[in-house]
Amino acid sequence: METPLEYLARNEARFIEDLREYVRFPSVSAQPAHAPDVRAAADWLTARCRGLGLETVLHATGGNPVLVARTPRIEGAPTFLVYGHYDVQPPEPFELWTTPPFDPQVRGRSLFGRGTSDNKGQHLAHLNAVEAHLRTGTPLPCNLVFLIEGEEEVGSKALYQFLPEHREELACAGVIISDNGIPGLEHPALTYALRGIAAIEVRIDGPSRDLHSGLFGGTVENPAMALCQLLARMRDGQGRVAVPGFYDDVLPLSDYEREQLARIPTTAEQFRELTGSPALFGEDGFTSEERRTARPTFEINGLTSGYQGEGSKTIIPSWASAKLTLRLVPNQEPGKVIAAVRDHLQRLCPPTVRITVRHGHGGEPYLVSPDGPLAQGALKALEAGFGHPALLMREGGSIPIVSAFQKVLGADTLLLGMALPDDNAHAPDEKFDLDAYAAGMRMAVHLWPELTRAHAGLKS
Ligand SMILES: [Zn+2]
């Protein structure tokens, strides 16, 4: 009897053709003109899931439909959920693509096209691994639910409503997301933590109108200067955020985590080169990788005040404003952090100006225990699939849906990306490495027995 791995190897060429077919749908969720294509991509995926014998429902929502497909039910076995999205980023600017974004072409060992790696190829790899089980008569050790949405690139509005409405149907022991990257084919990785975010806008008002700096300079406070001085006090000389209480809830890195993060092969010099900065910066006592993913930050994203045109204009501007975001790490809470920053800014603001602090959006940081059984099981599956020892890594950005899975379904998420650093997600010449595609499918074959075992260990 053929094994699932043999089946995957034998069908590799066809899986590439399948992905090409799927990528041909310009399922651009941001552009209303593409609504029929978004729908067609959802229909294609629905037909494919049904063709495999999965119990598949394409749920209508207020927005783009949400696909739920289940493997044949095994009583008493745990259920894991695989999340992905069939919508894609806009392809513009077209002229920067070597070949058209929706006419996917193989060059070397890569398939080029919009949506190849983000995210069609990555969830199709999981689906192909299920096919390999079903077609070879190899029982899956667990139940799988595929939850594939069509609005990830525009904020997942429909899914946020869908989740609580289908809470029971989607109940699971864990969520797998393959919608992110790894350092390289020889360095597969489990991403076990994400940073959160807190956004704030601060505005400083001074005189009721712009004033002549000759007639009034030296007698009233300059709001732009007041804002700069305030913001300068938000960080100390060691690169630490200087807001009282800011670090109170920060979970320190364990020795195990620091050891693991140190295995990520990017050197500090490579990292500096990538940024184009003259030199790296950061909080004392941490590596760039730790600073980028496991430490919180205070960033000024935009500063506005006074005259910005050509030449000079001798004024004291009437107001100044700044857009700020803070990247948060486990276990910081956005609401608490925003309040601490607001209070600190208000306390330090001189009486010569008025300050207004507006709260923006917040997103919670995320962490799944890196030495827990699920994470360790995933590492084994990665190693078996890619043929190289797997790394543990954290992501510096946020994936908000992960918090929703935790809150609504009570399930931890494992991020098992297959994208490579040069896959050009969201950019022209997006591609998916075909070796990563094949390795991802093999990984998925090893994943389900590993997670089922880990889950049994958790329960007993
Ligand atoms: Zn994506």
CA of 225 to the centre of ligand 1 (A): 41
DSSP 440: H
**90 phi, psi to nearest 5 deg:** -55, 145
270 SS3 class: helix
Distance CA 227, CA 150 (A): 42
293 SS3 class: helix
241 SS3 class: strand
pLDDT for res 436: 98
Of 47, 42, 219, the residue nearest 147 (C-alpha):
42
Distance CA 31, CA 225 (A): 42
CA of 415 to the centre of ligand 1 (A): 12
CA of 214 to the centre of ligand 1 (A): 54
Distance CA 413, CA 14 (A): 30
Of 168, 169, 151, the residue nearest 160 (C-alpha):
151
DSSP 140: P
pLDDT for res 274: 85
346 SS3 class: helix
pTM: 0.91
CA of 152 to the centre of ligand 1 (A): 7
DSSP 408: I
Number of DSSP helices (H) and strands (E) in the chain, helices first: 14, 18
CA of 325 to the centre of ligand 1 (A): 22
* Assigned token pair, 416: 């098992």
- Residue 44 CB coordination number (10 Å): 18
Q: Find the Cα–Cα–Cα–Cα dihedral 398, 432, 119, 391, rounded to 10°.
A: -40
CA of 86 to the centre of ligand 1 (A): 9
Could you tell me which residues come within 8 angstroms of residue 372 by beta carbon, excluding any fewer than 6 positions away? none
- Residue 440 CB coordination number (10 Å): 30
CA of 438 to the centre of ligand 1 (A): 19
* Assigned token pair, 251: 């979970």
Local mean pLDDT, 10-residue blocks, the chain (460 residues): 97 98 98 98 98 98 97 96 98 97 98 98 98 97 98 94 97 97 96 95 98 97 98 96 98 96 91 92 95 96 96 98 97 96 98 97 92 95 98 91 94 96 94 98 98 87
pLDDT for res 459: 73
CA of 194 to the centre of ligand 1 (A): 15
CA of 430 to the centre of ligand 1 (A): 12
CA of 84 to the centre of ligand 1 (A): 7
CA of 176 to the centre of ligand 1 (A): 13
Distance CA 255, CA 160 (A): 36
* Assigned token pair, 186: 């020889």
CA of 67 to the centre of ligand 1 (A): 16
CA of 177 to the centre of ligand 1 (A): 10
pLDDT for res 460: 64
CA of 153 to the centre of ligand 1 (A): 7
CA of 69 to the centre of ligand 1 (A): 19
Domains of the chain with bracketed CATH: 4-194+365-459 (3.40.630.10), 196-250+296-363 (3.30.70.360)
